[in-house]
Chains A and B, each alone.
Chain A
Amino acid sequence: MTMAGNPPCVFVVDDDLSFRRSLVRLLASHGFETAAFDSAASFLKEAPAFRAGCIVLDVHMPGLSGLRLQEALAEIDCRMPIIFLTGHGDIPMSVQAMRKGAVDFLTKPVDEGTLLEAIRKGLEESRRRDEQRAQIEDVRARMRTLTEREHEVMRHVIAGKLNKQIGGDLGIVEKTIKVHRARVMAKMGVHSVADLVRLCAFAGVEPAGK
């Protein structure tokens, strides 16, 4: 499965067969693509292959619970939005889930509108995350075209240093710094230092000297 070309999917994870079936039916009636799993473990096994979509997850399940699955998915960097469902939600549990990035924490039996709203939000989030991920990927691709020296200079630039300071730090003449800087700006496709700083922050590049 690849990022592009796949319709978003709603993954239903619940140990209760009857509820699972009913939820799949309801979502299907709303035209969602669905996939159902009877346990957290079986979902976790296949999760790395999934990209677009959101998870409707039961909190109480034998074996791996919903909350544990959330943690496990984070560990493998599967960042699909999660909508939790529970027979009875207590506040500490929902706080924990939300803090770890859950989209919503809903109580069974769940209202159709509320659930759909949450799923739409989840899919939107998913889409947004996908786009973001695509952008980061783009920035990183551009960064990969920089030479080591250019990368070094860039980190100094986004730290707000002047060419002269950079030259002093790196032991290179100011003129050469100027050339590297122009190449970086070109390769990264930016016209101002401000744009470069934003891209670097987006791609998680740390300014030098910190």
Chain B
Amino acid sequence: MTRSAIRKKAKAPAVPAGQRRRAEARLRERQEAAVGSPTSEVDVRHLIRKLRETGEQLRFEALLADLSARFINVPADQVDAIIADAQRRVCGRLGLDASALWQWDGADSKMPVLTHHHLPPGTPVPKRMDASRHFPWTLREVLAGRSFLVSSLDKAPEGAESDVATWRRLGVRNAVAFPLATGGVTFGALSFHDMAKRRRWSAVLLGRLELVAEVFANAIARKRFEQELRESEERLSLATEAADAGPWVLDAKGARFWTGAKLLELLGMPPGDGVDVEDYFALIHPDDRQDVRGVLAEALQSRDKKVVEYRIVRPDGEVRWMMSRGRLVARGADGPARLTGITSDITARKQQEEAYRANKARVASAADMAGIGFYEMGEGFRLIFVDDRARLLLGLSPQEDGRARDYWLARIHPDDCPAVLKFTRKLHEGGSEVESVEYRFMHPVHGLTWLCHLTRVLDRNAAGLATRVVGAIQDITQRKQAECETTELRRELAHVTRVSMLGELAASMAHELNQPLAAILSNAQAARRFLAMPGADLDNIRDILDDIVRDDKRAGDVIHRLRSLVQKKQVMVPDALDLNELVHDALHLLNSELISRNVDLELGLAPSLPAVHAGRVEMQQVLLNLMVNAMDAVQEKPVDQRKIRVATLAVKGAVRVAVRDWGDGILDHLMPDIFRPFFTTKQQGLGMGLAVSRSMIDSCGGRLWAENDPGGGALFQFELPAAERMQAKRAGRRKRASGK
């Protein structure tokens, strides 16, 4: 290996220019020294020494050249092995006992790793050391880019005490160290030591060692660079693999097309085949071909990155979505440009997109069909987004957006306001993430509409207040109208049934009303006569008048009870009811009927019952219906067997009313039908009584059922949930007081 080889080596690409120049200067000095300068005095001893030095020099140069050559020629992954060998050979050549090479990654210089060493056998090898503790001074020097020589541990500079202690512990007598750097970044250090003897350090020796350090630095730098390159290549290849992407290159004329195996795979072509540009276009779906040509033409004209998505039809007929992206890249300063790019299979993404689009379209059409409008609100009820339909539903113009909530609240029907405010409070202050409410809304154009509001909280702040809310609004006016009509029909039916039942009882009712009226008439007539007598007994007259007043009230009560049953009410008004009281009321109305039909009534009322929450008239109707049915059931029995029983009892969480008769019971095969509308066993029955009764009990959250009593006759029972912890009357008062 010649000097020029060394020079060449010194020009290794990874070595920075400044370092290279310094190295070249030193090399020139040494060459001059080796060749010898012209001298007039020729001293043989001097010459001999010179020759010896020159021989050494030459041998060292040869070693260095050999090492450099090997470093350049070996693959990066073998550099490490050569460094260890080089350390050994350098120490051997220069008579040094030990050499250590430390490296660290990036900025983590505190924990250098002893990657290479040459040590006498038996020396303990510290693999990792806390450099800031054991070699603080060394580290500082090396990181600053300075090499140093500590020729004797006694002569160590100020501040190197810890380093000296470590050296002593390791058994070295001196230290010379050089930073290993590339691109101005120090990534390691190379040190040499004597362990057995002291040494005089000549400038020549130091120069040689520095050269060794540079060769090592370059080799390691190259290794690191190649490693990084390989890693990034691996990363790229991983990325392309992962993206199902195949790289390609197209020359600027659009004629030569180079494809990797991956692209062929994506195209569904066998690995061996070649594809030229026209082949490629032939694979593109005819509908997309023109687009791709257009984009390709643009890409070849500009240096911007171009992207195009299109379908290809694989040879096997399968249609796949592809995305190609590419950019015109100049080769060298004035070389021909070429388009390099990658093509990836985006079928999965397209399918997802398609599914998403379809889903979105479905949601949109569902929203269209259902007439749902959407909106979104941020902190402090600020309107973030509102779609056109929501605007239409609310009659909200963009000018109102700033005060959308006030606008909305002001138009809610006063009766529904409490429910709506409760709904918003629950959402905004926590307690629920999804809530819905139905309310009447005064639309500025359409007038009163029914809206259904479904709202979901997306975010809350630390205080638990909603900061993002999305909502859907739907116009449910029609549904509500239908509901109202249904309710109206049901009410109508209940009313008809009730009135027809009362019609059947009309005779008894008339009797019930006649008794007090007859008494009043007789009393009045008697009083008139008493008054006409001389010396009328006023006390007697007063008694008569008292009786008249009482009977009048009694007649009034009967009329009141009847009227409440005959009246057609608008809505069922739930009230807290005492069922015992209700049974007594019903008996007042049925008293005459029981008498005229010679039916014996047995009462078994529980002494105290929890209240139930139900409509008074409706429950009255159910009771009357069951009792009249019971009376009908015993109608054909001999007089002394005509008996019915009405009982109440408190069961767990509910109140039960049982109406039993001692008739013939219900035939087993009719049992499933008795609650069906228009089912009747009576000559003149509507067949609606039980059907209506059951629906009324159902609507109060209760149940009504029938069975045959083991002791004979039918047993009808209904249960209504008890109004919790409420006394009937108190609850009733509170309800009235709250103005419901």
Contacts and interface: CB of A to CB of B under 8 A. Distances in A.
Contact of B519 (A15, A18, A28, A29): A18
Contact of A29 (B514, B516, B530, B594): B530
Nearest to B507: A88
Interface in A1-36: 15-16, 18-19, 21-23, 25-26, 28-30
Contacts of B511: 60, 86-88, 108
Contacts of B529: 26, 29-30
A18 B510 contact: no
Contacts of B551: 18, 22
Nearest to B514: A87
Interface centre among A18, A61, A90 (most CB of B within 10 A): A18
Interface stretch (B242-250, B383-391, B520-528): B520-528
B519 A19 contact: yes
A30 B526 CA distance: 8
Interface in B533-580: 533, 540, 544, 547, 550-551, 554
Contacts of B527: 25
A28 B547 CA distance: 16
B518 interface: yes
A15 to B, nearest CB: 8
B595 A19 contact: no
Contact of A19 (B513, B518, B540, B594): B518
Nearest to A110: B518
A137 interface: no
A57 to B, nearest CB: 14
A23 B526 CA distance: 8
Interface in A111-130: 112
A109 interface: yes
A87 B544 contact: no
Contact of A25 (B522, B554, B592, B594): B522
B596 interface: yes
A127 B196 CA distance: 169
A168 interface: no
Interface string B117-157: 00000000000000000000000000000000000000000
A112 B547 contact: no
Nearest to B521: A109
Interface in A90-104: 90
Contacts of A87: 507, 510-515, 518, 592
A26 B515 contact: no
Contact of A60 (B518, B520, B547, B595): B595
Contacts of B507: 87-88, 90
A28 B592 CA distance: 28
A189 to B, nearest CB: 47
A105 B675 CA distance: 42
Interface in A61-84: 61-62, 65
Contact of A108 (B517, B523, B544): B517
A26 to B, nearest CB: 4
A97 to B, nearest CB: 15
B519 A16 contact: yes
Nearest to A29: B529
Nearest to B516: A18
B126 to A, nearest CB: 118
B477 interface: no
A188 B134 CA distance: 169
B598 interface: yes
Contacts of A30: 529
A65 B518 CA distance: 19
A26 B512 CA distance: 21
Centre residue among B510, B517, B518, B533 by max chain A CB count within 10 A: B518
A22 B520 contact: yes
B593 to A, nearest CB: 10
Contact of A88 (B514, B530, B550, B598): B514
B595 A109 contact: no
Contacts of B522: 19, 22-23, 25-26, 109-110, 112
A70 B598 CA distance: 16
A65 B519 contact: no
Contact of A26 (B510, B526, B554, B598): B526
A154 B596 CA distance: 52
Interface string A131-175: 000000000000000000000000000000000000000000000
Contacts of A65: 595-596, 598
A16 B517 CA distance: 12
B502 to A, nearest CB: 15
B283 to A, nearest CB: 101
Contact of A61 (B512, B540, B544, B595): B595
A26 B525 CA distance: 7
Nearest to A93: B596
Contact of A109 (B517, B530, B544): B517
A29 B550 CA distance: 21
Contacts of B592: 60, 87
B515 A16 contact: yes
Nearest to A25: B526
A109 B513 CA distance: 10
Given A60-B596, A62-B595, A18 B526 contact: no
A29 B515 contact: no
B542 to A, nearest CB: 13
Interface string B202-220: 0000000000000000000
B54 to A, nearest CB: 152
B598 A22 contact: no
Interface in B468-516: 507, 510-516
B644 to A, nearest CB: 14
A112 B519 CA distance: 12
A87 B507 CA distance: 8
Contacts of B521: 22, 109-110, 112
A182 B652 CA distance: 95
14 contacts: A19-B518, A19-B522, A22-B518, A22-B519, A22-B521, A25-B527, A26-B526, A29-B526, A65-B598, A87-B512, A87-B592, A88-B507, A108-B515, A109-B521
Interface of B: 507, 510-523, 525-527, 529-530, 533, 540, 544, 547, 550-551, 554, 592, 594-596, 598
Given A25-B523, A29-B529, A60-B511, 4 more contacts: A18-B547, A19-B522, A23-B519, A23-B522
Interface of A: 15-16, 18-19, 21-23, 25-26, 28-30, 60-62, 65, 85-88, 90, 107-110, 112
